[in-house]
């Protein structure tokens, strides 16, 4: 079998997605997600200009060899652009392999480890009352795990909180918006948020929170400790992960579990954190961490240290990523939870999916491969629109800050 064609499809049915489609001489095709939020066209060029010409004529069944060829062969290893491009090829090839075998992807990986995939939904509000309402709404829809975020009194705009109090979109279609930030206000507010949420939602529901890398290590330690009475499932990205020693400091002060890694793209980004048991959940995704082939290595390493998976699943990961992730989650032994921000109806008309949601769980489909395809004609009606994530500045003097 040979790869005869490969093309990149860029579309914006409400937000930008980059999709790779690979075709073979036997009429089978596969798709992969290559969306890198806010830097989409860099991956498009990487694929079109540098990767796709090398794929034509190769045997699509040699997934491992093609992965190594693109990783080692580039000489320039790792990085989000490279690893998203490799991920897209890898995901499309696993999709093709599933179709060759006539098996859903989870069967190729080793079969079912669980009946369904627990997902966490997003409850966001402009204030505590609105977030509590959203948590209760999610519980009523059957969610067993819910991430809670809210506006912070005294701060105008906070990323991850929509103006309407409902879903937020992780990019704005203009130049980057500027938000302001004050860690002291946030640290005072967040325990109050979770006190109210836990009181309203009861003991059973898993509560999660995303700090978006905004705290220093000692502030993150304070936050973790102040949230202990509310028994969170995790706090995510409490501090930037470039200096990984910071997580040792956080660990010394709190037993609140820690999730990290949505911006990681390689096993090398998380190896030390996992081996030192400084995190509890690894958030790396198929799309940004080198595809199924590489994420599997990360999960296997994590399993040795009882670190569980919690794959990133915001709406900037396309339905192709979500479809593949659900198969991965159905198989992976050390599964923790899967993030789930439902895509809009328009997005799901461009991408056809076969998963279903029921009582807080997602069920992957049984179609061969990962079960997601793209309607290219419809996609062409929604061309790329420039869009960016916001930036964060300290409220008191405008210094640029992490978020
Ligand atoms: O592109 C970045 C978003 O996906 C990210 O900010 C969302 O932090 C996020 C999350 O946990 O989903
Ligand atoms: Mg996050």
Q: Where are the domains of the chain?
A: 3-104, 108-369
Return the pLDDT at 157.
Answer: 77
Catalytic residue among 159, 186, 230, 382: 159
Overall pTM surpassing 0.85 (yes/no): yes
Closest C-alpha residue for ligand 1 atom 6:
170
Question: Kind of pairing, strands 17-24 and 117-125?
Answer: unpaired
Closest C-alpha residue for ligand 1 atom 3:
170
Return the pLDDT at 101.
Answer: 98
Q: How many CB atoms lie within 10 A of CB 184?
A: 11
Among the bound ligands, the one closest to the CA of 285: 1
Q: Is 212 one of the catalytic residues?
A: yes
Q: Whose CA is closest to 306, among 334, 326, 332?
A: 334
Alpha carbon separation from 287 to 18, 67, 110 (Å, rounded): 11, 14, 21
Q: Using a 6 Å cutoff on CB, does residue 315 contact ligand 1?
A: no
Closest ligand 1 atom to Cα of 38: 1
Catalytic residue among 209, 212, 213, 327: 212
Whole-number Å distance, alpha carbon 35 to ligand 1 midpoint, is 13
CA angle 46, 86, 40 (to 5 degrees): 45
Return the pLDDT at 158.
Answer: 76
Q: Using a 6 Å cutoff on CB, does residue 262 contact ligand 1?
A: yes
Return the pLDDT at 171.
Answer: 81
Closest ligand 1 atom to Cα of 159: 6
Length of the chain, in residues = 403
Whole-number Å distance, alpha carbon 313 to ligand 1 midpoint, is 8
Return the pLDDT at 29.
Answer: 98
Tokens 């996992």 locate to: 274
Alpha carbon separation from 37 to 16, 170, 292 (Å, rounded): 8, 8, 19
Q: Is 159 one of the catalytic residues?
A: yes
Element (H, E) at 19: strand 17-24
Q: Whose CA is closest to 117, among 129, 127, 106?
A: 106
Whole-number Å distance, alpha carbon 89 to ligand 2 midpoint, is 25
Q: Whose CA is closest to 290, among 6, 21, 91?
A: 91
Return the pLDDT at 245.
Answer: 97
Which of 162, 170, 211 best tests ligand 1's pocket when mutated (most atoms within 8 Å of CB)? 170
Using an 8 Å Cβ cutoff, are 138 and 131 in contact? Answer: no
CATH 3.30.390.10 corresponds to the domain 3-104: yes
Closest C-alpha residue for ligand 1 atom 10:
314
Q: What is the DSSP letter of 242?
A: S
Whole-number Å distance, alpha carbon 237 to ligand 2 midpoint, is 7
Q: Using a 6 Å cutoff on CB, does residue 339 contact ligand 1?
A: yes
Which positions ≥6 away from 301 have C-beta within 8 Å?
Answer: 267, 270, 271, 274, 275
Among the bound ligands, the one closest to the CA of 168: 1
Q: Whose CA is closest to 180, among 199, 159, 194?
A: 159
Q: Whose CA is closest to 32, among 286, 264, 263, 266?
A: 286
Closest ligand 1 atom to Cα of 37: 1
Among the bound ligands, the one closest to the CA of 237: 2
Return the pLDDT at 390.
Answer: 92
Q: How many CB atoms lie within 10 A of CB 311?
A: 33
Return the pLDDT at 156.
Answer: 86
Which positions ≥6 away from 192 have C-beta within 8 Å?
Answer: 128
Q: Using a 6 Å cutoff on CB, does residue 314 contact ligand 1?
A: yes
Closest ligand 1 atom to Cα of 283: 11
Distance (Å, whole) CA 283 – CA 287: 12
Looking at the DSSP bridge assignments, the partners of residue 258 are: 235
Tokens 């330690």 locate to: 221
Distance (Å, whole) CA 46 – CA 102: 31
CATH code for the structural domain at 108-369:
3.20.20.120
Q: Using a 6 Å cutoff on CB, does residue 210 contact ligand 1?
A: yes
Which positions ≥6 away from 173 have C-beta within 8 Å?
Answer: 385, 386, 387
List per-block mean pLDDT (blocks of 10 residues) for the chain, which spans 403 residues: 98 98 98 98 98 98 98 97 98 98 98 98 96 98 98 85 64 86 98 98 98 98 98 98 97 98 98 98 98 98 98 98 98 98 97 97 98 98 96 95 89
Alpha carbon separation from 181 to 123, 151, 201, 218, 397 (Å, rounded): 21, 11, 28, 17, 10
Whole-number Å distance, alpha carbon 229 to ligand 2 midpoint, is 22
Q: Using a 6 Å cutoff on CB, does residue 40 contact ligand 1?
A: no
Return the pLDDT at 174.
Answer: 81
């Amino acid at each position: 079998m040979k790869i005869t064609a490969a093309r990149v499809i860029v579309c914006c049915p409400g937000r930008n997605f980059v999709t790779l489609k690979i075709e073979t001489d036997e009429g089978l095709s596969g798709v992969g997600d290559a969306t890198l939020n806010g830097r989409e066209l860099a991956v498009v060029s990487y694929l079109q200009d540098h990767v796709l010409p090398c794929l034509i004529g190769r045997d699509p069944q040699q997934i491992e060899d093609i992965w190594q060829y693109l990783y080692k062969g580039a000489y320039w290893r790792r990085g989000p652009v490279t690893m998203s491009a490799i991920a897209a090829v890898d995901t499309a090839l696993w999709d093709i392999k599933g179709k060759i075998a006539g098996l859903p992807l989870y069967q190729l990986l080793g079969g079912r480890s669980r009946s369904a995939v627990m997902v966490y939904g997003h409850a966001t509000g402009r204030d505590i009352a609105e977030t509590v309402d959203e948590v209760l709404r999610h519980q009523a829809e059957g969610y067993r795990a819910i991430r809670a975020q809210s506006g912070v009194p005294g701060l105008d705009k906070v990323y991850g909180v929509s103006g309407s109090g409902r879903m937020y979109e992780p990019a704005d279609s203009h130049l980057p918006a500027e938000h302001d930030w004050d860690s002291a206000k946030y640290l005072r507010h967040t325990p109050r948020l979770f006190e109210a949420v836990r009181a309203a939602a009861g003991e059973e529901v898993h509560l999660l929170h995303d700090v978006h890398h905004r705290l220093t290590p000692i502030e993150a330690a304070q936050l973790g400790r102040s949230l202990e009475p509310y028994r969170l499932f995790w706090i995510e990205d409490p501090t930037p992960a470039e200096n990984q020693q910071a997580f040792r400091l956080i660990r010394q002060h709190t037993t609140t579990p820690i999730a990290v890694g949505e911006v990681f793209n390689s096993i090398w980004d998380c190896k030390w954190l996992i081996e030192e048991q400084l995190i509890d959940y690894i958030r790396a995704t198929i799309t940004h961490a080198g595809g199924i082939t590489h994420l599997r290595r990360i999960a296997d390493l994590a399993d040795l240290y009882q670190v569980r998976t919690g794959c990133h699943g915001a709406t900037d990961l396309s339905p192709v990523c979500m479809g593949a992730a659900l198969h991965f989650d159905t198989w992976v032994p050390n599964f923790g939870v899967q993030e789930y921000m439902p895509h809009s109806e328009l997005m799901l008309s461009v991408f056809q999916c076969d998963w279903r949601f029921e009582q807080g769980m997602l069920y992957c489909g049984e179609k061969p491969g990962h079960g997601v395809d793209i309607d290219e004609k419809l996609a062409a009606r929604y061309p790329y629109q420039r869009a960016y994530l916001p930036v964060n500045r300290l409220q008191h003097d405008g210094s640029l800050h992490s978020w």
